[in-house]
Chains A and B, each alone.
Chain A
């Protein structure tokens, strides 16, 4: 087992953010996916994110080279075996997660730490299929992972205190603050922010004020760096809709019922910053353009 090697399964935005955060903190990362093209686009994505960071003076070209040199990819699962930490960041489907964690469980060293990323899925449910459920823990990262300084640590019923300690140590290495939460759909961050975003959409739908003015009032009124509608665009409206439907379904509470305006935007494929249009319009660099 190599102490400084972290295996990562997944190529999406969160997975890319995790890989960059690890590499920026001098850990070696090996990313696995069966799809070579997905791996390639993950590397391109990370390179692009770093370039944006360099433009904002947050990194230098040398730091970019150093970070990317620590990240390798593979399409062979067995290549991950030497890692001391296994990260899973692949979608929000219970069956898929279980399947994958089971495979990682089989190839990993008994001492290795198993981490699943989760927004809504239960760590306990996933851990049931493992040889030793005590070494599985959940982490809830927020986008963009390499910038957001806080992480939610989700303990399953059988997660051991050693696993929690090892996770704390890892997060310290990554220079991240963390809060420990019990298993419950949405944890803290998602649960608290969703009703705010949803309410802002209702206010807009009811025609009380323009999108621009709603954001201005909330941003300046409560000293936030982003207004709720811009934040919704930033997260991605399809992602938000998915979370809300899942919480509404799990908890049955009306406060999580997605605003019709959100549904309409998603139907029209106006998904926010990534499609250049959501509640606001954006240019390719993610800058808001006045409509």
Chain B
């Protein structure tokens, strides 16, 4: 099947065109600055052709239309006709408690998504906008929603209930949802395919460390805990998000500096994390450079960053009562050997021993970086959320046709 995957933000659309048969990425790219006079559309094909153009694109419908037109471009030769696209898979950030799996999008599903706006006010409205736009442009074929939260819906109650008055859960569905589910699922499934019994009996920790970062504890292929919570702010230190902290601090700061709710929100989400501690950058590559040049604040930021990940490794090993493998993925997790080394150092007692040389190797492929004697397998597995979206879409479309 030829599947178009879409990830729609408030002023951007990221897309990939995937042939699920051979898993080939026929095209990928993005539209940025939607709603402005100078929107930027970019595309890259599997055979290395690239194109970038600037054009006025006022909404998501126009954006998706422009992308499709570009796929018919004579030089790029990706599609002859839109009819070749069999289905569309949409990334949706928040599935709430309703969506435990990917879903064929129907009117009911869209209504539910709208109800979930309050849970993800930044992400779900543009996600839905993208769905409605794609339905207009690519009418008459199935659309499927793949939810960031769905993989974590298997968490037991003890992992997702906060120690607040229970009424907040009952009345407002305030609980841990977790995010990056598609990524945690992809890398863990990628690994367990190689085990004799598959995921059965395996205890895995996945660390998705990108600009946003989260970890998950996975038993028998099911997420049993994850570090992001009600929102993506909880858990690990991130590029500009604080992650775990004493919640009283924010009340104290709000009083101290007379901050409004939105200022406090911006403080925690945009001014904190690596950016906040280092005062330099939220980008690990910059901080590693600065650190080598002797910048102490950059070093401190990285120390706090890695220490938090390490604590979660310990916590999740304890939560699962053991550990078979640890997977690093996403931008930083895949590329920073320093991070992996710092996190794993001295964890031999847990059975984690890295192969120094393998850890340093640069590669875009999935690879084992633990030493031969390491009881726990440590892997770097490049994530591919779009592939999951495409494969889920194919599966659901096939199922819906047979029923």
**Which B residues between 221 and 280 are near A, CB-CB below 8 angstroms?**
240, 257, 259-260, 262-264, 266-267, 270-271
Closest to B262 in A: A58
Give chain A residues whose Cβ lies under 8 Å from the Cβ of B37: 2, 28
Asked whether, in the complex, the Cβ of B36 is within 8 Å of the Cβ of A4, the reply is yes
User: With an 8 A cutoff between CB atoms, is A3 at the interface?
Assistant: yes
A147, B259: Cα distance in complex, Å? 12
Asked whether, in the complex, the Cβ of A57 is within 8 Å of the Cβ of B35, the reply is no
Asked whether, in the complex, the Cβ of B266 is within 8 Å of the Cβ of A59, the reply is yes
Asked whether, in the complex, the Cβ of B36 is within 8 Å of the Cβ of A26, the reply is yes
Which residue, of B35, B264, B267, has the highest number of chain A Cβ atoms within 10 A?
B35
Give chain A residues whose Cβ lies under 8 Å from the Cβ of B374: none
Partner of A4, one of B35, B267, B271: B35
Give chain A residues whose Cβ lies under 8 Å from the Cβ of B11: 26
Given contacts A3-B58, A4-B58, contact A58 B36 (CB under 8 A): no
Closest to B33 in A: A26
CB distance from A67 to the nearest CB of B (A): 13
Interface size on A, residues (CB 8 A): 15
**Which A residues between 1 and 19 are near B, CB-CB below 8 angstroms?**
2-4
- Residue-wise, chain A 43-61 has the 8 Å CB interface mask toward B (1 for contact) of 0000000000100111110
Which residue, of A27, A59, A70, has the highest number of chain B Cβ atoms within 10 A?
A59
Given contacts A3-B58, A56-B257, contact A26 B35 (CB under 8 A): yes
Give chain B residues whose Cβ lies under 8 Å from the Cβ of A3: 58
Asked whether, in the complex, the Cβ of A60 is within 8 Å of the Cβ of B257, the reply is no
A59, B11: Cα distance in complex, Å? 18
Asked whether, in the complex, the Cβ of B271 is within 8 Å of the Cβ of A60, the reply is yes
User: With an 8 A cutoff between CB atoms, is B10 at the interface?
Assistant: yes
Asked whether, in the complex, the Cβ of A58 is within 8 Å of the Cβ of B266, the reply is yes
**Which B residues between 253 and 310 are near A, CB-CB below 8 angstroms?**
257, 259-260, 262-264, 266-267, 270-271
Given contacts A26-B11, A28-B36, contact A56 B58 (CB under 8 A): no
CB distance from A207 to the nearest CB of B (A): 30
Asked whether, in the complex, the Cβ of B259 is within 8 Å of the Cβ of A56, the reply is yes
Give chain A residues whose Cβ lies under 8 Å from the Cβ of B58: 3-4
Partner of B266, one of A4, A57, A70: A57
A3, B59: Cα distance in complex, Å? 10
A63, B263: Cα distance in complex, Å? 13
Asked whether, in the complex, the Cβ of A60 is within 8 Å of the Cβ of B35, the reply is no
Give chain B residues whose Cβ lies under 8 Å from the Cβ of A2: 37
Asked whether, in the complex, the Cβ of A60 is within 8 Å of the Cβ of B36, the reply is no
Give chain A residues whose Cβ lies under 8 Å from the Cβ of B259: 56-58
**Which A residues between 197 and 237 are near B, CB-CB below 8 angstroms?**
none
Asked whether, in the complex, the Cβ of B260 is within 8 Å of the Cβ of A60, the reply is no
A3, B57: Cα distance in complex, Å? 11
A63, B269: Cα distance in complex, Å? 13
CB distance from B272 to the nearest CB of A (A): 9
Closest to B59 in A: A3
Asked whether, in the complex, the Cβ of A57 is within 8 Å of the Cβ of B264, the reply is yes
A288, B259: Cα distance in complex, Å? 16
CB distance from B215 to the nearest CB of A (A): 26
**Which A residues between 61 and 115 are near B, CB-CB below 8 angstroms?**
63, 70
CB distance from A1 to the nearest CB of B (A): 11
Give chain B residues whose Cβ lies under 8 Å from the Cβ of A58: 259-260, 262-263, 266
Closest to A63 in B: B270
Given contacts A3-B58, A26-B11, A147-B260, contact A57 B36 (CB under 8 A): no
Give chain B residues whose Cβ lies under 8 Å from the Cβ of A53: 263
Closest to A69 in B: B36
Asked whether, in the complex, the Cβ of B10 is within 8 Å of the Cβ of A57, the reply is no
Closest to A5 in B: B37
A56, B35: Cα distance in complex, Å? 29
Closest to B268 in A: A57
Closest to A2 in B: B37
Closest to A60 in B: B270
**Which B residues between 1 and 50 are near A, CB-CB below 8 angstroms?**
10-11, 35-37
Give chain B residues whose Cβ lies under 8 Å from the Cβ of A4: 35-36, 58
A4, B10: Cα distance in complex, Å? 14
- Residue-wise, chain A 21-33 has the 8 Å CB interface mask toward B (1 for contact) of 0000011100000
A57, B271: Cα distance in complex, Å? 7
CB distance from A29 to the nearest CB of B (A): 12
Given contacts A26-B36, A28-B36, A28-B37, contact A60 B10 (CB under 8 A): no
A53, B37: Cα distance in complex, Å? 27
Give chain B residues whose Cβ lies under 8 Å from the Cβ of A28: 36-37
**Which B residues between 165 and 224 are near A, CB-CB below 8 angstroms?**
none
A27, B36: Cα distance in complex, Å? 8
**Which B residues between 38 and 78 are near A, CB-CB below 8 angstroms?**
58
A57, B257: Cα distance in complex, Å? 10
CB distance from B9 to the nearest CB of A (A): 11
Closest to B253 in A: A57
Give chain A residues whose Cβ lies under 8 Å from the Cβ of B267: 57
CB distance from A225 to the nearest CB of B (A): 8
Give chain A residues whose Cβ lies under 8 Å from the Cβ of B10: 26
Closest to B276 in A: A57
Give chain B residues whose Cβ lies under 8 Å from the Cβ of A26: 10-11, 35-36
A28, B38: Cα distance in complex, Å? 11
A26, B10: Cα distance in complex, Å? 9
- Residue-wise, chain A 143-155 has the 8 Å CB interface mask toward B (1 for contact) of 0000100000000
A53, B271: Cα distance in complex, Å? 12
A3, B56: Cα distance in complex, Å? 11
Give chain A residues whose Cβ lies under 8 Å from the Cβ of B257: 56-57
CB distance from B124 to the nearest CB of A (A): 15
The 10 closest A-B pairs by CB, nearest first: A57-B267, A58-B263, A60-B270, A56-B263, A57-B271, A58-B266, A4-B35, A57-B263, A26-B35, A57-B266
- Extra contacts, 12 of them, besides A53-B263, A56-B257, A58-B266 (Cβ < 8 A), are A4-B36, A26-B10, A27-B35, A28-B36, A28-B37, A56-B263, A57-B259, A57-B263, A57-B266, A58-B262, A59-B266, A60-B271
Q: List 17 A-B contacts (CB under 8 A).
A: A3-B58, A4-B35, A4-B36, A26-B10, A26-B36, A28-B36, A28-B37, A56-B259, A56-B263, A57-B270, A57-B271, A58-B259, A58-B266, A60-B266, A60-B270, A63-B270, A70-B36
Give B residues with C-beta under 8 Å from A.
10-11, 35-37, 58, 240, 257, 259-260, 262-264, 266-267, 270-271
